Structure 1
Amino acid sequence: MFMFFFPTHAQSVLSGNIYNENREALSGATIIISKDSTSAILAYGISDGTGNFSIKLNTDIESLFLKISHVGYITLKQEIQNKDQELQIQLYPSAEELKEVLVEARIIEQRGDTLSFSVAAFKDQKDRVIADVLRKMPGIEILPSGQIEYQGKPIQKYYIEGLDLLEGRYSLANNNIAADDVSKVQILENHQPIKLLDSLEFSERASINIKLKNNVTTTGTAELGAGLSPLLWKVKVTPMIFTKKNQAIVTYQTNNTGSDVSREIRDFSISDFGRQEFSINKRDWLSIRRLAEPPFSQERWLDNNVHLGSANYLIRLKKDLDLKTNISYLNDAQRQIGNTQTRFFTPTDTIDLVEQTNNEFFYNTLQSKFILERNTNDNYLKNELEFNGYWDSQKGFIDTGKSEVLQRLSNPFSVVRNNLRLMKPIGNQLITFRSNTGYTEANQNLSVLPGQFEGLLNDRQTYEEVEQEVNSSTFFTDNSGGMTKKLRGVTISPEVGFTLQNQHLESRLMVFDESDRDLLGGNYQNDLDFLSSRIYFTSRFVYEKDNWNFRLTTPFNYRTFDIEDATLNQSQNLNRLTFEPNFYIRNKLSAFWETSVNANYSNDFGDANRMYYGFILNNYRSLQRYNSPLPEDFRQNYNWSLNYRNPLTSFFASTSYSYAHVRSNLLYSNIIGESGATILEAIEQENYSNAHNWNAKASKYFRKLNTTLSVGTTYSHFQREQLLNDRLAEVNNENLSFNLKMESEFTDWLSASYAGNVSILQTNIDGRYMNEIETKQYSLDLFFYVAENQYFSLNSEYYFNNISDENRNNYFLNLNYQYTFMESGIDLEASWNNVLNTDEFVRISNNEFAYIQSTYRLRPSQVLVSVKFSF
């Protein structure tokens, strides 16, 4: 079918050398290829430092129009044949006398699918690490979490000199590599990370490569700080080395100033092979009630005492064979103080709940990954062995005005996993093998004093304490083999495999009253075995023609489920044959415009997390169980996007729209009591949900103003059915937001950074509208360069919400001064944070049937003096 619709097309490579009348190489000559002298550009390139160029063409046109130009030389124009050829081009000086010549270095260069951003062009006096400069580059955005996006989509890889040292934990490099050590930031568009697949399967994702100034870079950064109110400290030491055969980043960090260093080891990995069948992220069955965290800098509100050690090392054992080790340990103690006012909206009533909260969190996390990788044009091997352990505990105190509740939680979690991927050409086809096997375990315990849910758990009598224990374990494996072959321009990749997941869940609920201990049986216990398996056959078809890319994936799955809880005398057996196609099409409309469409259909099934028969006390006021058939969601997803990027004018823009329609077999019932206590159960009843999302963003760098301006807007609408207090209701959530950002260096003595966001949230239940929530947040940072080696900065922020009666407006102000000792490169910095001593912040949010007003106690006004230097 594909060969019928998409005939083969011509592919040619035009290369050569450009030199002047003295046979000297001409660098920076522009080569433009089009159908004729007036048609749109088909391809273009720029000669390198040796005068060489190479341009790939994908077109059926027999003859082409070639135009080569260079400042000060006569433009060459001629017709050429569309075939592989190497040209020797000589340009002659222009006889025209120029009155004035202005030479400007290029800030963004494009060669093929690679955009190179000049770091020097975007860097100013205050920028120290490469993350500071990335934020100013058009088309690139760093989210508050540390994740990097290009044209609104997460990047796939973060390379340093072409090597992926950190495997998704790239914030550690981003926040520590000195900007002065970097020459360029390269955006690798349509980047295929597996070299064997480069000519077989296209990629729509982008990656980043950090180009250093020196081939061998041995560097490091350090910061030592101390302050008052209360006694403050901050230590950060990060030695680094980058060579052609070795790379290493080692760090030790500790502080109690509110800096969340755990963000530097957050994993943003995107699998080389797409979606992973099983997640190894930490699963918390139990929790204590938390406060909603403020949406601004954590240094303003995070009460912490943290230590982080991380060692990351890459060594090239032999040609193209790399061994990577990534190990980190985090120890952190945090405290939250504030209150939450929750208003529940039911179809017949509203329920108000006020909770004064004092929480303490203790985190101990060890993460380790060992990777052996070979990635060449004729071989691909990647084996990842991963061990992660979490030994966390939490303590919370809540005062509702009617009762005082103490919560104690222990929630450890551990995981071990091995992920192997092999690819090897045999004959004219590429043989592939994948294996992903792992084991997770969680033994968690929650105690609540005094005991809750008296009506259900203790015959309506008050009692001293309730304790929930949950023990769960999961073994999973996913193994497959396949081949990849190109036939008449179509890359065909059939694959066959099987998955197996065995989950075991034990839980028990105990009631304590004075010296009595009552182990509740019946519906308040679980002894669940959940076995699921899948045999699948997947075919992937990939086709490229001219500026079109097509990909069709056709997975057939045969799934089996065996679920049994012998204690509760419950069991289920289910077999399903599913077909879940995925279609993607992309068209490069011109050198600057690109559009894509994606559609897929999927069948999602629940696991033990959404399928257990006995009640579990998830937190002090929430009981949940899923005494129902296995959850089945039938999901349709459609997405359209349009991108524009023009490196010549430094203008980047994108817009996208997505629609999701989900049909589910279960409806979730929430029974909300007068005290806000919620009982959740699942009921077998077909229901539907719909989600619409649209966003648009644009950014441009204005060279004459030294300014990067970014604007964006998003709109989302989510509709679903919900069972509230035994009454069916249709819930609609709408969210509209606008944002504006600016990074500018107005003069040699003043630069500014501005960000503004306005958001409107609206929820209605069966046509009855909840209060509309409007929030605004603005920030303005001014940097005054009083001398070449010193600057003074003022950081201000303003937040508004229309719901809070007493705290609608929040103002913040920071003052900073930095002095640089030019000879040694040492920075001395003094900062006065929260000058206005703003002591609390109110955040408003909503869900399907409630809105929540959280008041968070902030850090007091404090002064910190620190010394920063490189070594």
Structure 2
Amino acid sequence: MKLKPCFLLLLLFFFCKGFSQTVITGEITDKDNQRLSGATITITQDSTANIIAYGISDSYGKFQIDVKTDSEYFFVKVAHLGFKNWNNKFQNKTQHIIVQLTESSEELKEVHIESKIIEKRGDTLSYSVSAFKDQKDRVIADVLKKMPGIEIRSSGQIYYQGEPIQKYYIEGLDLLEGRYNLANNNLSADDVSQVQILENHQPIKLLDSLEFSERASLNIKLKKKVTLTGSAELGSGISPILWKANITPMVFTKKQQAIFSYQGNNTGNDVSLEIRDFSFEDFGRQELNINKRDWISIRKIAAPSFSQERWLDNNVHLGSANYLFRLKNDIDLKINVSYLNDSQQQMGNTQTLFFTQNDTISILERVNNNFYNKNLQSKFILEKNTDDNYLKNTLEINNFWDSQFGNIRTQDDQILQALNNPFSAFRNKLKLLKPFGKQLITFASNTGYTGSSQNLNVNPGRYKELLNENQPYTGTNQILKSFTFFTENSAGFTKGLKDITIAPEIGFAIQNQKLDSQLILIDNNETETLKGNYRNDLNFFSSNIYFTSKFIYKKNSWNIRLQTPFNYRIFNIEDRNLDKVQNLIRFTFEPDLFIKKEFSVFWEASIYANLKNNFGDVTNLYYGFILTDYRNLQRYNAPISENFQQNYSWRISYRNPINSIFASSSYSFSQTKNNLLYSNLINQNGATVFEALVKENYSNSHTLNLRGSKYFSKINTTLSLSSTFSSIEREQLLNERFADIQNQNLNFNAKLESEITDWLSTTYNADLSYLYTIIESRETEPIRTQSHSVDFFFYLSERQYLSANSEYYYNSISNRNRNNYFLNLNYQYTFKKPAFDLRASWNNVLNTNEFVRVSNSEFSYIQSTYRLRPTQLLVSLKISF
């Protein structure tokens, strides 16, 4: 299936036609012709009738309103604080009006003003925290979950209208650089006056009038100009001996911000999420990063999708220091340092069903794993972001010292696994924008280095047919070392020409990757380093010289961005051990088009299309086999992978802060042409040999999203609904036979947050999913899962509450434990002087000891049974600064 860009344009056209009733556009100014934002425009059928349409002027003083009425005339009224109301009568036809308001000199009488729950000023939405907060809410994350249009995923990442936020500011400053969970989960909601959503936010002030942004950012507005806050929490319990600690002081002033934190526990709270980075790359065209790469691993159990405190068996310590200081000339110095020491245990079993065209292979593994994770991560940032200058230099130094140990029992054997997985990384990023005449000169640089030395021991060995002439042997040792150096540098300029901005750029990127691996056979006390196809001595060098032009058009309600990158790529690969050499030169053109149209202050739509060429790197083009885990042996003994990707999408969104309604719909289609097809040879014991072969093939992906949320102020309730459908079609080689595989996923979610009375509030969350796999003409059994959670909070008095949290989970595949039930009970009492919370928790009251999670991959179903934490009691004391 091929979807042409014109199809998406037609969709947008018909969508526009759906709104082509009478359209009233206009501009609102004062007597000095200064444009006024935030003016309210109401349209009535006659001078006393009910409102039939309304709107709000944007930051440019402009508005657009669709009017649906059969009357020959209608009345327009414009109101703005500090100005006299304006009224006029108009004929019912599409037209453009200009309104000039005069200042009001009347003396205002004493009035009672009720604060708005959600207020829109230009591109800024302001949510009143006090309107959404109730007695149980302690940190700002508790309140954000109730705000319509805003969503917090299980990882802690914040989404607005279904898209991740770009920046998380506190009083306009980006202290945490993407690791905002630390503030979100610890900043007291009592210290926050407003949560602001900055729509179409351009983080670089110098580009604000030149380059639009389609992403939103979030800003926390504090009640005080100088805020000294934080908390300290200590807790202990039984079954087994439990402990927890969290000490997080914070300070926020105009020129300084700081968050220091120590957190530790063995209660199942994964505090590593506090330092998870959700930041977007703010420059650089290549995928050159310092993310940790795990080449080899031990087999794990898929973690349950509900609260970690029910299943995570851990002992963790986290220290984090984050400091921002404003130097002279508006230069910010930021330091973000964290150290994590975490040990975890996993127990349970995994049943994997591999589906081929005419067979099903079943593997049962009983798993006992131990993980030891240690890492030190740091960022040092110097940034100047003003209306006439931009400079940002980021130095990152990260080190990881991870190890893993696993014990797996299968139907036939017991397998011991031991993995050492250290990793180190260094990177420096620089971006500079400087006015030069009537244009901006830009320069960017991204240079880094990563190194990893990994070692996996498996006892006994699993591939006796391939590795030891069909004779059993004691074990296997996979040794792997990888190193990467990269640099990307670019220069260009940005110039505005009335409504058009042009930004040509030229640059080059270089990446050098090395891979050295050895597979060692261990038989009793003797070792043998396998040669030939079981070694890698690979050197991979790639370079890219590129030239791109960015054209940006912004006028009235239209935003258009076209990028036209030309790339000249060179690839050189050499494996001295296997005497393999490859050279590849490609010239590519990868246009990228984005169009957004604002139909009114409430409605907007966008389309996106791009063409992309992707090429493999050392991670998917090595020639010798690597034992990636105890039952997966893989290599890519093939030419460099090349795929040509077409991506198309459209999106329609509606947000009405007056009625607290937020909704969006999106569809995306992607087609990829690949030069390589991947082969999986699966043995009856689950051991898999993975290779690549040269064969042109296609894969298609469709995704449809629908979501909406509304806040009902009269009953203090937020209702959120969403649905996602995705379908992926691709070709695979399974056990030496070609197969067309299709995976489909349909998901529905509903969430309700309600403060029913002064003494009772509740939260309800439902999730239903349908997973389906088709291999050629063979249809596998669909997976149906559902989950429901209901939380009740009983406010016994102004300072105490009792809560009951219940959950239900179901899956259609398991032979046992299809239905899982959970119950937690909590009691909290708040003392005023000194201010602290006393909290008692009884977790897993029903003592449910295991949970079954079912998932699917391209050609398999995986049923994971996870051992849960036993019932436990925990008492904690939390003091607020």
TM-score by length of 2: 0.92
2:103 is aligned, of 88, 92, 99, to 88
Q: Kindly indicate whether the alpha-carbon contact (under 8 Å) linking 1:819 and 1:828 is maintained by their aligned counterparts in 2.
A: yes
Q: CA deviation at 1:279?
A: 2.3
- Is 1:238 aligned with 2:253? no
- Is 1:369 aligned with 2:374? no
Paired with 2:167 and 2:833, the residues of 1 have a C-alpha distance of: 37
1:513 is aligned, of 503, 510, 523, to 523
Kindly tell me: are residues 502 and 71 of structure 1, through their superposed partners in 2, closer, same or farther at Cα, counting changes over 3 Å?
A: closer
> 1:481-516, CA deviations, whole angstroms, 9 ceiling, x for partnerless residues?
000111242100000000000000000000011121
Structure 1 partner of 2:57: 44
- Is 1:776 aligned with 2:786? yes
Q: CA deviation at 1:767?
A: 1.9
Paired with 1:821 and 1:17, the residues of 2 have a C-alpha distance of: 56
Structure 2 partner of 1:855: 865
Paired with 1:126 and 1:392, the residues of 2 have a C-alpha distance of: 38
- Is 1:56 aligned with 2:61? yes
> 1:379-399, CA deviations, whole angstroms, 9 ceiling, x for partnerless residues?
000000000111000000000
SS in 2 for 1:523: helix
SS in 2 for 1:391: strand
Q: Which amino acid in structure 2 is aligned with residue 194 of structure 1?
A: I
Structure 1 partner of 2:354: 344
Kindly tell me: are residues 614 and 70 of structure 1, through their superposed partners in 2, closer, same or farther at Cα, counting changes over 3 Å?
A: closer
Structure 2 partner of 1:393: 403
SS in 2 for 1:800: strand
Q: Kindly indicate whether the alpha-carbon contact (under 8 Å) linking 1:374 and 1:380 is maintained by their aligned counterparts in 2.
A: yes
Q: Which amino acid in structure 1 is aligned with residue 134 of structure 2?
A: D
Q: CA deviation at 1:36?
A: 13
Give the alignment of 1:470-619 within 5 angstroms: 470-619=480-629
> 1:30-73, CA deviations, whole angstroms, 9 ceiling, x for partnerless residues?
5439999999767527xxxxxxxx753489xxxxx984447999
Q: Kindly indicate whether the alpha-carbon contact (under 8 Å) linking 2:248 and 2:259 is maintained by their aligned counterparts in 1.
A: yes
Structure 2 partner of 1:332: 342
Q: CA deviation at 1:88?
A: 2.5
Q: Kindly indicate whether the alpha-carbon contact (under 8 Å) linking 2:243 and 2:265 is maintained by their aligned counterparts in 1.
A: yes
Kindly tell me: are residues 408 and 192 of structure 1, through their superposed partners in 2, closer, same or farther at Cα, counting changes over 3 Å?
A: same
1:869 is aligned, of 852, 875, 879, to 879
Give the alignment of 1:171-250 within 5 angstroms: 171-250=181-260
- Is 1:423 aligned with 2:438? no
Q: CA deviation at 1:91?
A: 5.6
> 1:538-566, CA deviations, whole angstroms, 9 ceiling, x for partnerless residues?
00000012101100000000000000001
Q: CA deviation at 1:701?
A: 0.3
Give the alignment of 1:248-267 within 5 angstroms: 248-267=258-277
Q: Which amino acid in structure 2 is aligned with residue 281 of structure 1?
A: N
Q: CA deviation at 1:825?
A: 1.8
Q: Kindly indicate whether the alpha-carbon contact (under 8 Å) linking 2:39 and 2:79 is maintained by their aligned counterparts in 1.
A: yes
Kindly tell me: are residues 298 and 17 of structure 1, through their superposed partners in 2, closer, same or farther at Cα, counting changes over 3 Å?
A: farther
SS in 1 for 2:781: coil
Q: Kindly indicate whether the alpha-carbon contact (under 8 Å) linking 1:615 and 1:625 is maintained by their aligned counterparts in 2.
A: yes
Paired with 1:314 and 1:798, the residues of 2 have a C-alpha distance of: 44
Q: Kindly indicate whether the alpha-carbon contact (under 8 Å) linking 1:73 and 1:93 is maintained by their aligned counterparts in 2.
A: no
Kindly tell me: are residues 792 and 42 of structure 1, through their superposed partners in 2, closer, same or farther at Cα, counting changes over 3 Å?
A: closer
Q: CA deviation at 1:92?
A: 8.2
Paired with 2:135 and 2:77, the residues of 1 have a C-alpha distance of: 41
SS in 1 for 2:397: strand
Q: Which amino acid in structure 2 is aligned with residue 339 of structure 1?
A: N
Paired with 2:104 and 2:621, the residues of 1 have a C-alpha distance of: 71
Structure 1 partner of 2:636: 626
Structure 1 partner of 2:305: 295
SS in 1 for 2:104: strand
Give the alignment of 1:818-829 within 5 angstroms: 818-829=828-839
Q: CA deviation at 1:848?
A: 1.2
Q: Which amino acid in structure 1 is aligned with residue 725 of structure 2?
A: Y
Paired with 1:820 and 1:735, the residues of 2 have a C-alpha distance of: 45
Q: Kindly indicate whether the alpha-carbon contact (under 8 Å) linking 2:541 and 2:573 is maintained by their aligned counterparts in 1.
A: yes
Q: Kindly indicate whether the alpha-carbon contact (under 8 Å) linking 2:677 and 2:694 is maintained by their aligned counterparts in 1.
A: yes
Q: Which amino acid in structure 1 is aligned with residue 29 of structure 2?
A: L
Structure 2 partner of 1:652: 662
Q: CA deviation at 1:318?
A: 1.3
Q: Which amino acid in structure 1 is aligned with residue 801 of structure 2?
A: Y
Q: CA deviation at 1:632?
A: 0.3
Q: Kindly indicate whether the alpha-carbon contact (under 8 Å) linking 1:693 and 1:717 is maintained by their aligned counterparts in 2.
A: yes
Q: CA deviation at 1:11?
A: 11
> 1:314-370, CA deviations, whole angstroms, 9 ceiling, x for partnerless residues?
000113200000000000000000000111111121111100000000000110000
Paired with 2:653 and 2:304, the residues of 1 have a C-alpha distance of: 32
Paired with 1:622 and 1:838, the residues of 2 have a C-alpha distance of: 33
- Is 1:469 aligned with 2:479? yes
SS in 1 for 2:552: strand
Kindly tell me: are residues 626 and 73 of structure 1, through their superposed partners in 2, closer, same or farther at Cα, counting changes over 3 Å?
A: closer
Paired with 1:196 and 1:630, the residues of 2 have a C-alpha distance of: 41
Paired with 2:192 and 2:309, the residues of 1 have a C-alpha distance of: 28
Structure 2 partner of 1:3: none
Q: Which amino acid in structure 2 is aligned with residue 44 of structure 1?
A: S
Q: CA deviation at 1:756?
A: 0.2
Kindly tell me: are residues 82 and 590 of structure 1, through their superposed partners in 2, closer, same or farther at Cα, counting changes over 3 Å?
A: closer
Structure 2 partner of 1:728: 738
> 1:400-435, CA deviations, whole angstroms, 9 ceiling, x for partnerless residues?
020000000001111000000000010011100000
Give the alignment of 1:80-159 within 5 angstroms: 87-90=102-105, 104-159=114-169
- Large movers: runs of 4+ above 2 Å: 10-18, 27-45, 54-59, 65-94, 101-105, 271-277
Q: CA deviation at 1:131?
A: 0.2
Q: Kindly indicate whether the alpha-carbon contact (under 8 Å) linking 1:12 and 1:58 is maintained by their aligned counterparts in 2.
A: yes
Q: Which amino acid in structure 2 is aligned with residue 226 of structure 1?
A: S
- Measured on the aligned residues, the alpha-carbon RMSD in Å equals 2.5
Q: Kindly indicate whether the alpha-carbon contact (under 8 Å) linking 1:713 and 1:737 is maintained by their aligned counterparts in 2.
A: yes
Paired with 1:738 and 1:274, the residues of 2 have a C-alpha distance of: 37
Paired with 1:415 and 1:87, the residues of 2 have a C-alpha distance of: 61
Count how many residue pairs are aligned between Structure 1 and Structure 2. Answer: 836
Q: Which amino acid in structure 2 is aligned with residue 702 of structure 1?
A: F
344-353 or 425-434, which moves further after superposition? 344-353
267-276 or 327-336, which moves further after superposition? 267-276
Q: CA deviation at 1:275?
A: 5.3
Paired with 1:491 and 1:153, the residues of 2 have a C-alpha distance of: 26
Structure 2 partner of 1:49: none
Q: Kindly indicate whether the alpha-carbon contact (under 8 Å) linking 1:474 and 1:502 is maintained by their aligned counterparts in 2.
A: yes
Paired with 1:191 and 1:113, the residues of 2 have a C-alpha distance of: 8
- Is 1:692 aligned with 2:702? yes
- Is 1:751 aligned with 2:757? no
Q: CA deviation at 1:220?
A: 1.0
Paired with 2:45 and 2:653, the residues of 1 have a C-alpha distance of: 26
Kindly tell me: are residues 297 and 17 of structure 1, through their superposed partners in 2, closer, same or farther at Cα, counting changes over 3 Å?
A: farther
Paired with 2:616 and 2:705, the residues of 1 have a C-alpha distance of: 30
1:282 is aligned, of 261, 277, 292, to 292
Q: Kindly indicate whether the alpha-carbon contact (under 8 Å) linking 2:83 and 2:103 is maintained by their aligned counterparts in 1.
A: no
Paired with 2:492 and 2:89, the residues of 1 have a C-alpha distance of: 46
1:379 is aligned, of 389, 392, 409, to 389
TM-score by length of 1: 0.93
Paired with 2:31 and 2:469, the residues of 1 have a C-alpha distance of: 88
Kindly tell me: are residues 533 and 71 of structure 1, through their superposed partners in 2, closer, same or farther at Cα, counting changes over 3 Å?
A: closer
Paired with 1:508 and 1:792, the residues of 2 have a C-alpha distance of: 59
Kindly tell me: are residues 235 and 39 of structure 1, through their superposed partners in 2, closer, same or farther at Cα, counting changes over 3 Å?
A: closer
Where does the alignment leave 5 or more consecutive residues of structure 2 unmatched? 1-24, 65-74, 91-95
Paired with 2:206 and 2:193, the residues of 1 have a C-alpha distance of: 29
Q: CA deviation at 1:625?
A: 0.2
SS in 1 for 2:532: strand
Paired with 2:278 and 2:31, the residues of 1 have a C-alpha distance of: 41
